[in-house]
Amino acid sequence: MTVIKNEKQEVSGNLFGGVDGASLRLIDSPIGTYGYLDISAEGSFRYALKNDLPQVQVLGPNDTAQEVFRYEVTTTNNITVDAKLTVYILGNPSVSFDNVEIEFNNGSNEASPIHAGNASQMGQYMRGQLTTSSDRDWFIFNSLGNEIINLELCPEGSHCKDEKAWVMYVFDADKFVSEGNENQSVTLRTYLDRTNETLATAQANHFYLLYDKGFFNNSLIGIIDPCFGDRRTLDIGVGTQPKNYLALITSPLLRSSGLDAQGAAKSDLEDCGSGDTVLERVKATLPDGSKIIEQFIVAYPYSDDQYTLRVTRTGADPFAVLSPSSVTFDSIGRKANVAKMRVNNQLYSVRLEQLNTPISADMLSTFGIESIQQLDEPLTADPYLPTYNPANQIVRFPQVLDTQSGIVYSVEMLYHPESNTLSLLKATPVN
């Protein structure tokens, strides 16, 4: 059983499960570390998470905890059975469907998948962080067409809302790849002002610089740029055909109006300024009065605080349509076949085996790793790709087909490195 801070604070069920129980006795105190347990003589229970407890409040988005309640069941045949109820507590500071970016996602081929929401189901919040001023955080999402997709960067209620340190770009994924400009660079010169003679050069490939110089004019669909206004949302109108989209978060660059006479950033700046992103300053003055001019760039403003990104759609969920990256699960054979899974920056094929069939409320469905094989193929951006995130041990399967029922699910599991097993946290039907 799983509860989630600030989102899903209660769970209920029956402690008899598949046992023909006549009565039960709670061995442990009903007051737990994170919440309390109510039980009835008929075996029903309700666990409530006490959200205001300090030990609950300190749980961050990557944290998990658990508490166990032991109890004793007496069957109708007067047989006594010892059992336990395990409750998993997931940290979640403010919103549902928290996830964190999968580092490394510095290249478009390493983009972290995002499952967009709709009017009836709030979209997944993706929390990311620019670890350096040159960091690039790539994400991918998809559409079946004929809809409006809304992206929110630092939406209302997120702790990054009052900062202006992040640029969000949205690209047509196919056009971006065909442009082939992701790894381009711009030459920065050191030169004599009187003769324009180049004395030295350096290469800069900060993404905002490449954007400013027009490298992505063909593939760029929209941008949220803190250097020009306070807009935090972006709407994309999707045509009739299915399409993949890439979203990117970077820092902005200081522009020339933000420099003081000495070539440093002005102390009273409230934004990036205006003008060119390639800045110039006097590096030295020669005896004849000519000056050596140095070109440079400055990431400004830059913050290594977390940002929040959410994607919401108006049309059908594309994960309802099967893809080659779908996971298949045979509930009779108790096997799950994962054709491709991303672990760090490597692809693997994985076969999972269901180790148990939950017969009571205290049991989570657990899977063992039956086999795993490294694939000799490059990593490419794929919104359907199952991914393991070592930051929080969460494994996300965007599309799982139950071959017996024909129902497609979006599945989330928690990996336990110590036992090399996975516990099922969520299985949400996709429609």
pLDDT of residue 361: 46
∠ CA 268-270-272, nearest 5°, is: 110
DSSP E strand stretches across 261-345: 279-285, 291-296, 306-313, 327-330, 335-343
Q: Give the contacts of 157 (CB within 8 A, at least 6 positions apart).
A: 94, 95
Hey, what are 102's tokens?
């999968």
- pLDDT tens readout for residues 187-211: 999 999 999 999 999 999 999 999 9
- Helix H or strand E segment including 208: helix 207-212
pLDDT of residue 83: 83
- Nearest alpha carbon to residue 265 among 243, 250, 246, 281: 281
- pLDDT tens readout for residues 73-120: 888 888 888 888 888 888 764 433 346 666 678 899 999 888 787 766
Look up residue 4 and give its amino acid: I
pLDDT of residue 71: 87
Report, as ranges of residue numbers, the positions in the chain whose pLDDT lies below 50: 93-98, 361-362
Distance CA 236, CA 142 (A): 12
Sign of the torsion angle spanned by Cα atoms 331, 337, 343, 345: negative
Domains present along the chain, CATH in parentheses: 2-90 (2.60.40), 98-183+206-253+300-316 (2.60.120.380), 327-429 (no CATH)
Helices (H), 327-427: none
Model pTM above 0.75 = no
Hey, what are 97's tokens?
């469907």
313, 121 Cβ separation under 8 angstroms: no
Distance CA 87, CA 60 (A): 17
pLDDT of residue 97: 39
Hey, what are 123's tokens?
């979209």
373, 348 Cβ separation under 8 angstroms: yes
pLDDT of residue 363: 54
Q: Give the contacts of 324 (CB within 8 A, at least 6 positions apart).
A: 339, 384
Name the one residue in this structure whose structure tokens are 């692809």: 347
Going by DSSP bridges, is the β-strand pair 335-343/327-330 parallel, antiparallel, or unpaired?
Answer: antiparallel
Q: Give the contacts of 261 (CB within 8 A, at least 6 positions apart).
A: none
pLDDT of residue 210: 98
Hey, what are 315's tokens?
């049309």
**Sheet arrangement for strand 64-75:** 2-4, 80-90, 64-75, 21-26
pLDDT of residue 93: 46
